[in-house]
Amino acid sequence: MTAITLVEAVTQALAYELAHDDKVVIFGQDIGTNGGVFRATQGLQAKFGEERVRDTPLAENMIAGLAVGMAIGGMKPVAEIQFMDFICASIDQILSHGSRIRNRTRGRLTCPMVIRTPSGGGIRAPEHHSDSMEALFSQIPGLRVVIPSSPARAYGLLLAAIRDPDPVIFMEPKRIYRMVKEEVPDDGEALPLDVCFVLREGKDITLVSWGAMVHETLQVAQKLSQQGIEAEVIDVATVKPLDMDTILQSVEKTGRCVVIQEANPTCSLSSEIIAQLAEKGLTSLMAPPQRVTGYDTVMPLYRLEKLFIPSEQRIMNAVKNVLEYV
């Protein structure tokens, strides 16, 4: 079996579902002829035809509205927004219609659509190409928000998202599109949504992260292990709904926690995790939890990008603060 990248795993999952479910259609700007801006859909139009893999104009509101209408009509649309920052043009369709259909019709209709979008910084992109807006979409009732951190999880979680009866925002951290490779069986086996993945067992501190930041977090855990400190690493994966039980169980064991995210800090997912730790896990904590995040500013251009994205050193500093707290 050949090892593949995260973006190749996305292509593999899309191809599997197109081949096995004739209700699945995919569309977005340049996804057909060009295979998408990051080539996530490369070769799919040639294999499945223009009716199933369709290019659209550069019109995010139309793309989301088309997905909502097709999903309500019984199809399983998978739409691509080229960069997450531009999804704001489609929020009315997602918030006012797609996310509310089940509630509005008292369960008579559902909206089984997936909106895929590359997210996050780290590729030297200009403004409006590097945001991480998981917290914004996690605020919307009726939406599920998923962020894979590896090729295997991208494949399994995307399959699960397409098969889910409700709308899913599937954020693909483009910084790691081609950073790691692993063998991913093309067996159609989905991974469970709405659960965290414990990537590394530990007893001394819990490190919680998701998306691209999982990789820096694992590097820090490895360095800590060389110092005799065993960190438990949790990949949140589905950030909405949040599997807080797994995080609380880990903190009950370790007593200490650091949350790492690339997104802006204010009203963010890390804020929610730490708030719930305070509400439900206070008696387990031996030190105040900390978070390592981006900053409350627009993602800077490439010369300062690395200062915005949490580094291993920033994570290590937070870990030491929590471990040394008495």
Q: What pLDDT, in 10s, does the model give residues 5-18?
A: 999 999 999 999 99
Q: Is it the case that residue 265 has pLDDT exceeding 90?
A: yes
The architecture CATH gives domain 197-324 = 3-Layer(aba) Sandwich (3.40)
User: Which pLDDT does position 8 carry in this prediction?
Assistant: 98
pLDDT bin (cut points 50, 70, 90) of residue 126 is confident
Q: Is it the case that residue 303 has pLDDT exceeding 90?
A: no
pLDDT bin (cut points 50, 70, 90) of residue 261 is very high
The answer to whether the CB of 265 falls within 8 A of the CB of 271 is yes
The architecture CATH gives domain 3-183 = 3-Layer(aba) Sandwich (3.40)
DSSP-assigned letters across all residues of 201-266: --SSEEEEE-TTHHHHHHHHHHHHHHTT--EEEEE--EEETT-HHHHHHHHHHHS-EEEE-SS-ST
The answer to whether the CB of 36 falls within 8 A of the CB of 174 is no
Q: What is the mean pLDDT of residues 271-297?
A: 97
Which of 201, 203, 256, 257 shows the shortest CA–CA distance to 229?
Answer: 203
Q: What is the mean pLDDT of residues 290-303?
A: 94
Using one digit for the tens of pLDDT, what is the confidence trace for 201-243? 999 999 999 999 999 999 999 999 999 999 999 999 999 999 9
User: Which pLDDT does position 124 carry in this prediction?
Assistant: 87
User: Which pLDDT does position 21 carry in this prediction?
Assistant: 98
How far apart, in Å, are the Cα atoms of 192 and each of 72, 198, 306? Answer: 24, 13, 33
Averaged pLDDT score across all residues of the chain: 96
* HSE of 216, CA atoms in CB hemisphere, 13 A: 24
User: Which pLDDT does position 1 carry in this prediction?
Assistant: 83
Q: What is the mean pLDDT of residues 76-80?
A: 98
Sorted by where each begins, the domain ranges of the chain are 3-183, 197-324
Q: Is it the case that residue 254 has pLDDT exceeding 90?
A: yes
Residue 238 bridge partners (DSSP):
146
Using one digit for the tens of pLDDT, what is the confidence trace for 177-210? 999 999 999 999 999 999 999 999 999 999 999 9
Do 3-183 and 197-324 fold alike per CATH? Answer: yes
Q: Is it the case that residue 127 has pLDDT exceeding 90?
A: no
Report the C-alpha gap between 8 and 181 in whole angstroms: 9
Q: Is it the case that residue 165 has pLDDT exceeding 90?
A: yes
Report the C-alpha gap between 157 and 151 in whole angstroms: 10
| Cis peptide upstream of residue 241 (ω within 30 degrees of 0) | yes
Structural tokens at position 177: 């599109």
Q: Output Rg (C-alpha) for the chain, integer angstroms.
A: 20
3-state secondary structure of 122: coil
Record the pTM: 0.97
User: Which pLDDT does position 142 carry in this prediction?
Assistant: 96
Out of 97, 128, 129, 215, the active site residue is 129
> Is 129 noted as a catalytic residue in this protein?
yes
User: Which pLDDT does position 76 carry in this prediction?
Assistant: 98
